[in-house]
């Protein structure tokens, strides 16, 4: 069995070492590199090709946002999960705009870490439930029914959207709604077009901002 090659970017040595040990001993991933800031990380990318990056946001010399922006300019297909302890949701929105695929709080457990890595490696997006709640609590209320009508979502598309926002992948949604994964994929594509979202992460954020879904 092949495990994803991961680079850990965080300025706290103990956290990096603990995370590395966890990923290896639990057979979740192979750690191919570590960096204590964005500059070191970009140097690693000159000779390493990670499948996924676990990126801290608050670091000296070059923070996670700048490192994310520069590395995705180098490789737009790079998968990045942001690790954070921030309470300021502005950072989440900025990282989403940059193109990160997931968000995890550093207090997350091993099962959530494993799920996040698995989902992102399969091409999905992942939000920690705690982060979703923080985002929701800081969004202004909108008239959801009017928004649904204005963008023309069908009832089945709404069903799929709810499940996407719950963090389910295509196969899980198919099982829950008793439809095929191919049909789920088609609904997901339609949702991205109708909401003008470039990826699933932005689709989730759109749904939350416009109060289409309550979690």
Structure tokens at 18: 């603990």
Per-residue pLDDT of the chain (215 residues; tens, 9 = 90+): 578 999 999 999 999 999 999 999 999 999 999 999 999 999 999 999 999 999 998 898 999 999 999 999 999 999 999 988 765 566 777 888 888 988 888 888 899 999 999 989 988 888 887 777 666 666 544 445 656 667 888 989 999 998 888 878 899 999 999 999 999 999 999 999 999 988 887 888 888 777 787 66
Contact 64, 38 (CB under 8 A): yes
Structure confidence at residue 141 (pLDDT): 46
Q: What is the pLDDT of residues 106-118, one digit of tens each?
A: 888 899 999 999 9
Cα separation, 94 vs 89, in Å, equals 9
Structure confidence at residue 49 (pLDDT): 94
Q: What is the DSSP letter of 104?
A: E
Name all domains of the chain by residue range, CATH numbers in brackets.
5-136 (3.40.50.2300), 141-209 (1.10.10.10)
**CA 16, 19, 23, 24: dihedral to nearest 10 degrees?**
60
Phi, psi of 98 (to 5 degrees): -70, -30
Partners of 35 in the beta sheet?
Answer: 9
**Predicted model pTM:** 0.72
């Amino acid at each position: 069995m092949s495990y994803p090659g991961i680079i850990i970017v965080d300025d706290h040595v103990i956290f990096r070492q603990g995370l590395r040990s966890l990923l290896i001993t639990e057979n979740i991933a192979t750690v191919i590199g570590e960096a204590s800031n964005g500059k070191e990380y970009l140097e690693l990318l000159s000779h390493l090709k990670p499948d996924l990056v676990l990126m801290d946001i608050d670091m000296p010399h070059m923070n996670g946002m700048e490192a994310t922006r520069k590395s995705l300019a180098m490789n737009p297909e790079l998968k990045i999960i942001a690790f954070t302890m921030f309470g300021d949701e502005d950072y989440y929105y900025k990282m989403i705009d940059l193109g990160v695929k997931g968000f995890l709080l550093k207090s997350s457990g091993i099962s959530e870490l494993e799920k996040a890595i698995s989902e992102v490696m399969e091409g999905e997006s992942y939000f920690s439930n705690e982060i979703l709640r923080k985002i929701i609590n800081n969004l202004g209320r909108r008239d959801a029914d009017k928004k649904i009508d204005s963008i023309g979502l069908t009832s089945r598309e709404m069903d799929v959207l709810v499940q996407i926002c719950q963090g389910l992948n295509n196969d899980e949604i198919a099982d829950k709604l008793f439809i095929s994964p191919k049909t789920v994929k088609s609904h997901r594509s339609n949702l991205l077009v109708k909401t003008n979202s470039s990826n699933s992460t932005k689709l989730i954020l759109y749904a939350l901002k416009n109060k289409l879904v309550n979690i």
